[in-house]
Amino acid sequence: MVDEETIRVVRCGGSELNFRRAVFSADSKYIFCVSGDFVKVYSTVTEECVHILHGHRNLVTGIQLNPNNHLQLYSCSLDGTIKLWDYIDGILIKTFIVGCKLHALFTVAQAEDSVFAIVNKEKPDIFQLVSVKLPKSSSQEVEAKELSFVLDYINQSPKCIAFGNEGVYVAAVREFYLSVYFFKKKTTSRFTLSSSRNKKHAKNNFTCVACHPTEDCIASGHMDGKIRLWRNFYDDKKYTYTCLHWHHDMVMDLAFSVTGTSLLSGGCESVLVEWRDATEKNKEFLPRLGATIEHISVSPAGDLFCTSHSDNKIIIIHRNLEASAVIQGLVKDRSIFTGLMIDPRTKALVLNGKPGHLQFYSLQSDKQLYNLDIIQQEYINDYGLIQIELTKAAFGCFGNWLATVEQRQEKETELELQMKLWMYNKKTQGFILNTKINMPHEDCITALCFCNAEKSEQPTLVTASKDGYFKVWILTDDSDIYKKAVGWTCDFVGSYHKYQATNCCFSEDGSLLAVSFEEIVTIWDSVTWELKCTFCQRAGKIRHLCFGRLTCSKYLLGATENGILCCWNLLSCALEWNAKLNVRVMEPDPNSENIAAISQSSVGSDLFVFKPSEPRPLYIQKGISREEVQWGVFVPRDVPESFTSEAYQWLNRSQFYFLTKSQVTAPLKKGSHFLLAEESLPTTPFYFILGKHRQHQDEKLNETLENELVQLPLTENIPAVSELLHTPAHVLPSAAFLCSMFVNSLLLSKETKSAKEIPEDVDMEEEKESEDSDEENDFIEKVQDTNNTGLGEDIIHQLSKSEEKELRKFRKIDYSWIAAL
Amino acid sequence: MGEFKVHRVRFFNYVPSGIRCVAYNNQSNRLAVSRTDGTVEVYNLSANYFQEKFFPGHESRATEALCWAEGQRLFSAGLNGEIMEYDLQALNIKYAVDAFGGPIWSMAASPSGSQLLVGCEDGSVKLFQITPDKIQFERNFDRQKSRILSLSWHPSGTHIAAGSIDYISVFDVKSGSAVHKMIVDRQYMGVSKRKCIVWGVAFLSDGTVISVDSAGKVQFWDSATGTLVKSHLIANADVQSIAVAEQEDSFVVGTAEGTVFHFQLVPVTSNSSEKQWVRTKPFQHHTHDVRTVAHSPTALISGGTDTHLVIRPLMEKVEVKNYDAALRKITFPHRRLISCSKKRQLLLFQFAHHLELWRLGSTVATGKNGDTLPLSKNADHLLHLKTKGPENIICSCISPCGSWIAYSTVSRFFLYRLNYEHDNISLKRVSKMPPFLRSALQILFSEDSTKLFVASNQGALHIVQLSGGSFKHLHAFQPQSGTVEAMCLLAVSSDGNWLAASGTSAGVHVYNVKQLK
C-alpha cells in the first residue's frame, strides 16, 4: 500500500523509444518498444499508444515475442526479471526472477523452454550470452536461476548478437572479429578482420550483425560503412564474404526481410537502404528520414518494417518502402539551450527539438505535437561542423508571440546572431515569421523575456546581452500602401557601467523590469525606462532572477553563482532575506506565489519550494535526482488537485517538471530523462517515502544549511496531526472526540481515500492560517521531536492544550471524517 | 663503394600493349598471355612468374583467342582468320591455318584436348581435329546469324555453348545442331541498349551455362531447358571475361570498370546439399577494361587494356603464407629493351617497330652524395630507326664502343655501322648478311666490340668478327644432339673468353670463345 501523501519523483515521459529495436506483433497490428521502465504498445495504423506495460523496476532492456504463443511478449530489465505479458489486454502473466542484470533478450523458436539473455556477472565490462531456462510453473513469480553459458566476452549491445537459421548457430561480433557458435557441434568459429592502424583498415570494426532467416549467411555492418555478407563460415579456412558498400559512415543496424530476399541497412545518412538479392547493384532507398537510423526491425508477417531514429521516433514503413506512420517521442539527442517552456495555448512543453527546430511536446500523451522550423536551413550532418544553434526562445502575450534567437560562433570574434519573432496565426494554427532581426546585439544574448502583463497595450520584449546592453523591442505599425502589417523595432537601449547584462525579468504587472548586470540588479520603470534603483549584494554574478507573484509581487529574487539566494523587498529597496543555497534552477509557479529552486550538491539535486515572502521553505525534497538538473518548469494542471497536507499544496495547481542530463549506457552519448514530481503513482526507482527519510534529512540539512536564515520546514506526513497542530485551539472540538480520530489517523489507515474527499476550500483557508508565529514554530518542533521518538499517549496530552483553541471550521471536517468512518 | 653519377632516364617512352587473352595450363602451371600487338608470352608460374618464352608480334595479327591443347600445345586465333600453333621449343610459329570464316573471335579446346573449336565472324562454329603435327578441319556446326564471340565446352565434351550477340546457343557436338537458343535481355538498368553482346560463356558439368554480357550481367542458364536461372547485375559497364575453376566451385569475371569479381559456390545451409553461387569478393587492381581472366587452382589471373597482368592468390587455398602467396602485378617487360654503349654514353631503346638512340646528358658540376646535379647538356635524341614491314623487333643491341647497332625481326637481321663526326651521325647498313643470320632471338656484342654473338632461332649460336666496316663469320655453335632448342639469353665474360647461353629447357651452356668450344 502506497502512502498517498508522499511526493515522489516519477520518470514521466520523454524516455527513449529508440533504446532497443522495436518489435512487431505477429499480425503487424501492434508495435512494441521499450520506453524507460515500461514497454509501450502502439498501434501501427493509428500511431496511438494502446497500452503501457508497467511492472519493471528498472530500465527495460529487451523485448521479444513469445515464439510459442505470439500473443505474449517477453521483456527483460536491469532489475533482473523476465516478465511475460499479454499485450492485448496489457496484463502481466508471469515474472521470472533471474537475479542478475539482464542487458538484452533473445528468443528462438527451437529452444522451447529457454530464452537467451546478455548478462554481466563478475566484471562490469565483460558480458556473456547465457541461455535462461524458464521453468514451467503455474505461479505468478517463478525463480529462473538455471543459466547455461553460451558465449563469453561479447558486446553489450543486442545489435551485436544474432541467431541464425532456426537457432542452429549464434553470431556475435565485437571489435574486429565475428564469432559463430554452433549449438549442435558446440564449436565456435572466429573470423578476424585486419585491424591494423593503417588507413585502409582503420575502421573495420564490427558494429552490428544480422542472420539470414533461411540460408547460412551472416550480414555484418562495419564502422566504415561496409556491409559484409559472410558465408561458408563452418570452415575456418574456406569462409568467404562479399562486401556491399553504400554507407559513407558507420552502419547502425541491419535486418533481413522475413523471406531473406532483401537486406535492410541504415546509418547516419538517414536513408534506409534495401539490398535486394544481396547484390550491390540492386538496391532501393528510402531517403530523408530525418535522423540517424538506430535500429531496424521487420514484422514477422513481412509487410512492415520500422526504423528507430536518434531523434526518438519510430517510423513504420511499408514493404514497398513508403513510410506509413511516425511515432515521435521527445527529441533529445542534443543539448537543450532554450530551457523548458510551456506554450500558453496548447499547454505543450516547448524546447529544442531536431536541429534548428523547436518542438511542441504534449506531456499528457507523451507525444510530440509538432515541430517548428526556426532556422529554416538544411541541416548538414557532419562531424566537427559548427552548426547554427537555436539558443533562446520565449513566448509572449499569451502565446501570440514567440521570440527565438539563433547563433553560430565559429571563432571568438565571428558571431552570427539572429533574432526572429513569430506571430501566432489563428487560421493556420501555427506560428508565422513576422520579424527577423540580424545582429540584435553585438554579443551573445543571455536572456529574453516578454512583458506578460494583462493590461499592457503594446507587446514588449527585452533582450539582455553580453555586450553590456539590454534592448527593449516593441511592436509597431509597419503598414505600407500595400498591406497592413506590424513589425518589431528597438525602442530603448539600456546599460549599466558596461557590465554584461546577464538576466532580465518583468514584474507580474509589467510595470518594472529587472535586469541583472553581473553582480548588480537594476530595476527599471517600464513606462519611462528610467533606472529606479539598484541592488548589489557582492555575492557573485546573478544566475537567476525572478519577481514574486500575486501576494508576493513586492519581492524580487536573485540567485548568484556563489550559492546565495537573495530576496529584495521592492518597497523598502532592501534585502529581505538571503540564504546560502547553490541554486541551479529557479522557476516561479504561474498560478501561485510559489517558487521552486533546485540546488546542486555533490550527492545530487535537491528541490526547495518557498514563497518569497518567507525565508522558510514550504517543502524540501532531498536528492530528487543524482544528476544535475538542467531545467525545470511548472506546468499548470487542467483540473486542480486537492492536497490537504500543507507541504504538498504547492502541487495543487501546477506540476513541476524537470529535465536532467544523464549518461545513457552508450558512452559519449548524452541523453536526458524527464522527471515529474507528483504523488501516488506506482513505485519507481525514484521512490522516496518522505517520512522514512525525515530524520536523516533533517540532520543533513542542519549540516549544510548552517548560518542560514531559512528555517526548516516541519511538516507531518499525517494530515490529521498537522491539521490539529495548525488549527487554533479554541475552535477544536473536545479532546475526547478528537482522541479516537487522532489515534485512527496514526494507524496505517485503509481509508486514505477519505482524505481526498476533504473539500478544497478547507485547504485554502488553512493555507492562510498556517502562517504561524515563531512561538508556535518552536512548539511544533517540540512536538515533532516527541513524535519521532515515540508516538505514545503523552503526545495526546500535549495536544490537549491546543484542542481548546480549535476553529469551528474543523467541525466541518470532522463530519466528513465521521461519514467516512 | 665507388662514386657514381646516376642518370635519370625519363625519355624512354615505352608503351606496352594491352593484354588480350590469357590461357592457363594446369599441367605445366604455365600461363600464356597474348597482347593486342600480337605478341604471345609464356610465363612459368612455378618459377617465380618468369617469362620463359616470347613470340614477337605482327601488325596484321590481332590475337583474339588463345588456348592450350593436349600435350602442351599452344594455339591462337585472331582477326586475320588464321589459327596458329606456336612451337614452344624453337620459339617460332609452327604453322597457320586459315579457317575460312572471316575473323576468328573465339576458340576453345575440347576437354580432352584433341579438338579445337573456333567461332567466326560469319556466325559459323568450326571444329578442328588436332593431329600430332597439324590441325585438320572436321566440320561446321549450324551457322548462326551473327559472330560467335565466346565458346565453351561442356566438361563431358558432348555439348558446347556459344555466345553471340543477343543470344547464347547450345550445340550438340555429335549432330552439330543447335539445341537451345537462349535470348539475353537487352535491358540495362531499365534502358534498352542497342545490343547485348555475350562476351563470355562457361559451361559447367551440371549443365549450367554462365554468361557474361555487355549489359553488366552475370547470368546462369539451365542448358537442359534453355531457361534463365539467376541473374547478377554486377557492373554498369560490360562484363568482358569469365573463367571457371577446374573444380567448378568458383569462377571469376572481369568487367570494363577494371573490377574483377569472384563468385563462389557455397552451401545454402550447413546441413543441406543445396548450393548456390554467391558473389563474394571484388578486386580492383586494374584501371581499365579487364579483357581476360583465368582461374588457376590457387589464384585469379586477370589482364586487360591497362597492360598489367595481375595474379591474385586465393587466401583460402594457400597453405603457407610466403612470397608466392602475395599479390603479383606484372607490369614491367621481362625482356631486355635497352642496351647501352658505355664509351659514348649512348642508350638504345627498342620499341615494337622502331629503335631510338639517345645520348645521355652531361654535367660539369660536382656535388655531394645525393645531390641533384644541373645538366650542362641535355640528353640528345640522336637516331630514330624504323623497321620495314609489319613484324615487330625481337631484339636489338648497341656495341659498347657505340659504332655498331644490330637488331632482328622474325624474318630479317640488320646490322648498322655508326660514324660519328662531331655532332653528326651517319648510319650505314651492313649489307650482304649471310643467309644463316636471318633471324635472331638474342644479340650481344663482346666487351671490346669486336665480336658479335647471335642466338638464332635454329638453336645455333653464331660468332661474328667485326672489323672496320666489314664482318666475318667466325664460328657457329650448333645445338647438341640435334635438339631444336632456342637460346634466348646470352651473356659474355668481360675478357671476352667465355660465352654463356640459356635456352628454353632452362639449361645453361658455357662456350669458350677463344677455343670455339
What are the pLDDT digits (tens) for B345-364? 888 898 888 888 888 887 77
Place of cell 539445341: B179
One domain, residues A343 and A318 = no
Of A240, A277, A282, A231, the residue nearest A256 (C-alpha): A277
C-alpha span between B441 and B339 (Å, rounded) = 15
Q: Which residues of B touch A182 (CB under 8 A)?
A: 270
Nearest to B278 among A165, A214, A242 (CB): A242
Cell numbers for A131: 541461455
Q: Tell if the CB–CB gap between A240 and B270 is shorter than 8 Å.
A: no
Residues 282-301 on A with a CB inside 8 Å of B are: 282
pLDDT of residue A611: 84
Q: Which of B231, B247, B263 is the last residue of a domain?
A: B247
CA dist., res. A490 & res. A443, Å (int)? 16
On whether both A103 and A203 belong to a single domain, the answer is no
- Whether residue A729 lies inside any domain: the answer is no
The pLDDT, as a whole number, for residue A704 is: 35
Q: Which of B340, B342, B333, B446 is nearest to B394 (CA)?
A: B333
A216 vs B268: CB contact, 8 Å cut-off? yes
CB contact under 8 A, B279 and A215: no
Task: Give the separation between CA A300 and CA B509, rounded to whole angstroms.
Answer: 77
CB B104 within 8 A of CB B126: no
Strands (E), B184-258: 187-188, 191-192, 198-203, 208-213, 217-222, 227-233, 239-244, 250-255
**Domain range for A248:** 155-329
Q: Note down the domain range covering B34.
A: 19-247
Residue with the larger pLDDT of the pair A467 and B486: A467
Q: Name chain B contacts of A236, Cβ cutoff 8 Å.
A: none
Question: Which residues of chain A does B269 touch, with a Cβ-Cβ cutoff of 8 Å?
Answer: 165, 168, 214-216
**Mean confidence (pLDDT) of chain A:** 76
**Is there a contact between A56 and A79 (Cβ–Cβ < 8 Å)?**
yes
Domain boundary among B319, B334, B349: B334
- pLDDT tens-digit map of A585-623: 888 888 888 888 888 777 777 888 888 887 788 888 777
Tally of structural domains, chain A: 3
Helix (H, G, I), strand (E, B) or coil at A650: helix
How high does pLDDT run on average in chain B? 84
> Residue A684: its pLDDT value, please?
29
Instruction: Answer for the pair A650, A634: CB distance below 8 angstroms, yes or no.
Output: no
**Cβ within 8 Å of residue B496, ≥6 positions away:** B446, B447, B448, B450, B451, B513
Nearest to A216 among B232, B235, B267 (CB): B267
Q: Are residues B275 and B194 in the same domain?
A: no
pLDDT digits (tens, 9 = 90+) for A385-414: 788 888 888 888 788 889 999 888 888 778
- Let me know whether B58 and B192 are in one domain: yes
Average of per-residue pLDDT across A422-446:
88
Contact call for A165 and B269, based on CB within 8 A: yes
The verdict on residue B401 lying in a domain is yes
Q: What is the pLDDT of residue B235?
A: 85
The total number of structural domains in chain B stands at 3
* CB contact A201 to B (< 8 Å): no
Cell 573495420, residue? A204
Alpha helices in A105-214 (DSSP H): none
Query: Does B269 share its domain with B222?
Result: no
Q: Do B280 and A215 touch (CB under 8 A)?
A: no
Contact A558/A535 with Cβ under 8 angstroms?
yes
pLDDT of B514 strictly over 90: no
- What are the φ and ψ backbone dihedral angles of A442, each rounded to 5 degrees? -80, -20
Instruction: Determine, yes or no, domain membership for A204.
Output: yes
Does residue A451 surpass a pLDDT of 90?
A: no
Give which of A535, A533, A543, A539 is closest to A575, Cα–Cα.
A535
Record: contact B280-A281, CB cut-off 8 A: no
- Dihedrals φ, ψ of B440, to 5°? -130, 145
CA distance B488 to B479: 13
Cβ <8 Å between B316 and A282: no
End-to-end C-alpha distance for chain B, whole angstroms: 37
With both helix axes pointing from N to C terminus, report the angle between A760-769 and A719-726 in degrees, rounded to the nearest 10: 50
Give the mean pLDDT of A103-112.
Answer: 84
Residue A136 lies in a domain: yes
* Residues A291 and A396 both lie in one domain: no
A231 at B interface, C-beta within 8 A: yes
Closest CA to B278 of B195, B351, B220: B220
Average pLDDT over residues A799-821: 47
Residue that is last in its domain, among A153, A183, A207: A153
Single residue among A329, A355, A389 that ends a domain in this structure: A329
Distance from CA of A177 to the nearest CA of B (A): 18
ipTM of the complex: 0.76
Domain termination residue (choose one: B247, B271, B298): B247
A226 and A88 housed in the same domain:
no
The H or E element containing residue A86 is strand A81-86
Work out the pLDDT band at B188, boundaries 50, 70, 90: low
Q: Say yes or no: B315 and B435 in one domain.
A: no
Assess whether pLDDT exceeds 70 at residue A244.
Answer: yes
Whether residue A293 is found in the same domain as residue A364: no
Question: Lowest-pLDDT range, A243-247, B41-45, B233-237, B494-498?
Answer: B494-498
| Strand arrangement, sheet containing B217-222 | B198-203, B208-213, B217-222, B227-233
* Residue for grid cell 637516331: B383
Q: Are residues A323 and A370 in the same domain?
A: no
SS3 A811: helix
Pick from A305-309, A510-514, B464-468: least confident: B464-468
Percent of chain B past pLDDT 90, that is, above it, reads 23
A198 and A345 in a single domain? The answer is no
Cβ contacts of A281 on chain B, cutoff 8 Å? 216, 233-236
Helix (H) / strand (E) element for A397: namely none
Chain B residues in contact with A237 by the CB 8 A cut-off are 316
Q: Is the dihedral of CA A290, A291, A292, A294 positive or negative?
A: negative
B54 and B190 assigned to the same domain? yes
Mutate to test the interface with A, among B238, B268, B315 (most CBs of A within 10 A): B268
Cβ of A216 within 8 Å of Cβ of B269? The answer is yes
Across B170-198, average pLDDT: 82
A280 domain residue, yes or no: yes
Report CA-CA distances (Å) from A679 to A39, A608, A713.
22, 16, 19
Q: B254 and B235 in one domain?
A: no
- Find cell 634466348 and name the residue: B488
Residues B160 and B87 in one domain: yes
B3 assigned to some structural domain: no
User: In this complex, do A240 and B236 lie within 8 Å of one another by their Cβ atoms?
Assistant: no
Lowest mean pLDDT among A541-555, B154-168, B241-255: A541-555
Q: Please give the span between the terminal C-alpha atoms of chain A, in angstroms, as a whole number.
A: 19
Q: Examine the domain organization and report whether A73 and A135 are in the same domain.
A: yes
Asked whether residue A310 is domain-assigned, the answer is yes
Residues A96 and A135 in one domain: yes
Residue B387 resides in a domain: yes
- Point out the residue among B233, B264, B267 whose CB comes nearest to the CB of A281: B233
Among B270, B271, B281, the residue with its CB nearest the CB of A242 is B281
Which SS3 state, helix, strand or coil, does residue A244 take? strand
Our CA angle for B118, B122, B126, nearest 5°, is 25
**B6 within a domain of the structure (yes/no):** no
B91 inside domain: yes
Q: Do B264 and A231 touch (CB under 8 A)?
A: yes
Task: Report yes or no on A591 lying in a domain.
Answer: no
**Do the Cβ atoms of B22 and B31 come closer than 8 Å?**
yes
Same domain membership, residue B242 and residue B135: yes
Q: Residue A202: how many CA atoms within 13 Å on its side-chain side?
A: 5
% of chain B with per-residue pLDDT over 70 = 92
Backbone angles phi, psi at A796, to 5 degrees: -65, -35
Q: In the structure, what pLDDT confidence band is assigned to residue A792 with cuts at 50, 70 and 90?
A: very low
Dihedral over alpha carbons B87, B91, B94, B96 (to 10 degrees): 110
Using CB atoms, which residue from A165, A168, A237 is nearest to B316?
Answer: A237
Tens-place pLDDT, residues B262-282: 998 888 877 778 888 888 888
Q: Could you tell me the pTM of the whole model?
A: 0.72
Strands (E) located in B121-190: 125-130, 135-140, 150-153, 159-163, 167-172, 178-183, 187-188
If contacts are CB pairs under 8 Å, which of residues 65-84 in chain A contact chain B? none
Q: Answer whether residue B1 is part of any domain.
A: no
Is the CB of A279 less than 8 angstroms away from the CB of B270?
no
Angle formed at CA B65 by CA B59 and CA B68, multiple of 5 degrees: 120
- Among candidates A494, A439, A445, which has minimal Cα distance to A465? A445
**Any CB–CB contact under 8 A between A275 and chain B?**
no
CB contact under 8 Å between B266 and A231, yes or no, is yes
Per the domain annotation, does A726 fall within a domain? Answer: no
* B288 and B403 share one domain: no
B418-466 confidence digits (pLDDT tens): 887 777 777 888 777 777 777 788 888 888 778 888 887 777 788 888 7
> Is B37 in the same domain as B167?
yes
Task: Give CA–CA dist A475/A469, Å, rounded.
Answer: 20
CB pairs under 8 A between A and B: 54
Q: How far apart are CA B290 and CA B199, in angstroms?
A: 12
Concatenated DSSP letters for A191-207? EE----SSTTTTT--EE
How long is chain B?
517
Mean pLDDT of the region A292-312 = 90
User: For residue B479, what pLDDT is reported?
Assistant: 67
What's residue A253's pLDDT? 93
| Shared domain check, A60 and A79 | yes
**Shortest Cα–Cα distance, B29 to chain A (Å):** 23
Residue A187 sits at the chain B interface (C-beta within 8 Å): no
pLDDT at A765 > cutoff 50: no
Q: Are residues B282 and B235 in the same domain?
A: no
In a mutational test of the A interface, the residue from B189, B280, B298 whose CB has the highest number of chain A CBs within 10 Å is B280
pLDDT in tens, A656-670: 777 776 533 222 222
List the CATH number of the domain containing B218: 2.130.10.10
Residues A299 and A357 placed together within one structural domain of the fold: no
C-alpha cell belonging to residue B322: 610466403
Give the CATH number for residue A293: 2.130.10.10
- 8 Å CB contact of A215 and B233: no
Q: pLDDT-based confidence at A31, cuts 50/70/90?
A: very high
Domain stop point among A408, A439, A470: A439
Looking at per-residue pLDDT, the higher value among A433 and A483 belongs to: A433
- Alpha carbon B314 to chain centroid distance? 23
Name the pairing type of β-strands A272-276 and A262-267. antiparallel
The x, y and z cell numbers of residue A712, run together, are: 526548516
Residue A490, domain member (yes or no):
no
Closest chain B CA to residue A168 = B270
Asked whether the beta carbons of B415 and B367 are under 8 A apart, the reply is no
Q: Phi and psi (nearest 5°) for A802?
A: -80, -20
Q: Per mean pLDDT, which range of A96-100, A238-242, A759-763, B391-395 is the poorest?
A: A759-763
User: Would you say residue B4 lies in a domain?
Assistant: no
B489 shares a domain with B358: yes
- pLDDT grade for B191, boundaries at 50, 70 and 90: low
Longest CA span, chain A: 96
- pLDDT above 60 (res A417): yes
Question: How far is B111 from chain A, CA to nearest CA, in Å?
Answer: 28
Residue A742 pLDDT class (50, 70, 90 cuts): low
Q: Give the integer Cα–Cα distance in Å for B500 and B489.
A: 8
What local confidence, expressed as pLDDT, does residue A762 receive? 36
Identity of the residue numbered B9:
V
Please check whether residues A285 and A137 belong to one and the same domain.
Answer: no
State the DSSP code for A107: -
Q: Is residue A476 less than 8 Å (CB to CB) from chain B?
A: no
Cβ contact (<8 Å) for A281 and B268?
no
Say whether A242 and B280 touch across the interface (CB within 8 A).
yes
Nearest to A645 by CA among A742, A697, A698, A718: A718
Is residue B347 a part of any domain in this protein?
yes
C-alpha distances (whole Å) from B59 to each of B90, B268, B350, B497 are: 21, 51, 16, 39
